[in-house]
Structures are given as C-alpha cells and as structure tokens.
A and B are shown apart, each in its own frame.
Chain A
Amino acid sequence: DVVMTQTSLSLSVTPGQPASISCKSSQSLLHGDGKTYLYWYLQRPGQPPQLLISDISNRFSGVPDRFSGSGSGTDFTLKISRVEAEDVGIYYCMQSIQLPYTFGQGTKLEIK
C-alpha cells in the first residue's frame, strides 16, 4: 500500500496567521499520464470530509483562495494564507495512484 504520512498531528494558529500542513507519500504519486493523484480534505467537527484541493493544487468549487496546494512526487504541502475560525478541523491528504486508495492520518488545526 502507498503510505501517506502527515508529519504534524496538530498545529495551533492565531487567526490571520498562515498555516502549513505537510504530507509525504511512500512512493511517487506522479502517474505515467502526467497527472499527480494527490488530494486534500478538511473534516470539520461532526461533519464528513470535504474536498479542498485536487491534483496537488486545483481548488475545488467554492474553496476560498486562501487555500493553496503545492509539491511534487512524494512531498506535498497545503497552505492557508490567513487562518480563519472556520478552518478548524482535521486535514487529510489522500492518494489515488494505486489501489487501495489511502489517506494520511490527519493534521488537526486549532485556533489559538
């Protein structure tokens, strides 16, 4: 299986400050078709996960532009330019380059 590792299990951020969440995969997520099968999700308390970012850096419909994704190969980062109260929750990365599709263990974002 492709193991997705999120090195930080939690972070606490002051509103208005930036935040960065890291995700590393045990093998490259770059497919021979040129696409990188890496996604980011946010799970707010009591809610299902919601899609934030596809293909490393493409924001899903309705996702604020303060969210951005970057990276390549096996190392990826989700950045929030200015954290807001509504950004609280657990952030997960996910890969779909190989079965079974797997998720990181999550990074919990709290507000200071």
Chain B
Amino acid sequence: QLQVQESGPGLVKPSETLSLTCTVSGGSIRSSTYYWGWIRQSPGKGLEWIGSIYYSGSTYYNPSLKSRVIMSVDTSKNQFSLKLSSVTAADTAVYYCARQRTSGVHLWDIDYWGQGTLVTVSS
C-alpha cells in the first residue's frame, strides 16, 4: 500500500522560506505513470493545488505561486520537496503531499494523499 508522508517545520517566520519534504513508501517515485504533488488547504482559500513534479524533475506549477515555488525530487531517497519563499500569513495552511496520475501528456486525478502537516507563518 502506497504511503506519502510530509515532514518539516510547523512554524515559519514571515519573509522566510517554507521547506517541506515528502517521503514515499510502498512504491517507487520513479514511475512513468505518476507525478508527485503538493496541495494546501486553508480556511480562507479552501483547497489549492500548488504544483507537481515528475521523477525526472519536470514540473507543473500553479501560476499564482510560480515565482515563489521550487520543487525538487531525490530518487535515491524516494522523496520530493517543496520550497515556498517570501512567506506571509496568507501561506498558513495544512500542506498535503500526494500522488497525481498522468498520461505522460496530461495530469489527472490525485489518488493518494498524505495526512497533511500544518504550517503556520508567524513571527
């Protein structure tokens, strides 16, 4: 059974960089049929797709966050990561890592989600 698990600081100061890692177990991140993504959920904005990355490093980002987002993948550790720079209180949310299916040309549904980790932006 595939599992994805988020890890990282729960508190980040304004203007700093939020960094999260997702560890994949029960399956290989080096799959041709999946991208690996990040979604966040806040009371004010609901569910927001942040972006997804392929094991080769190819990425799709939400245009509204693209200038502040960097995703990376470490196939040797079966992990992928999210960095969100210049954070403000509006970035406070539960961050989920997840697996997103792909045809190779198009991204489809998100079929496995982590439990989520709350990240609070506050001084």
| A residues lining the B interface (CB < 8 Å) | 31, 33, 35, 37, 39, 41, 47-51, 54-55, 60, 92, 94, 96, 99-103, 105-106
Q: Is the CB of A96 within 8 A of B108?
A: yes
| Interfacial chain A residues near B108, Cβ < 8 Å | 37, 39, 54-55, 96
Q: A48-B96, A51-B111 are in contact. Are A31 and B106 (CB under 8 A)?
A: yes
**Per-residue A-contact encoding for B94-123, CB less than 8 Å = 1, 0 else:** 001010000000111111011110000000
Q: Is the CB of B109 within 8 A of A54?
A: yes
The answer to whether the Cβ of B31 comes within 8 Å of any Cβ in the partner chain is no
Question: What is the count of residue pairs linking A and B with beta-carbon distances less than 8 angstroms?
Answer: 55
Interface SS of chain B: strand
Q: Is the CB of B49 within 8 A of A100?
A: yes
Smallest CB separation, A96 vs chain B (Å): 5
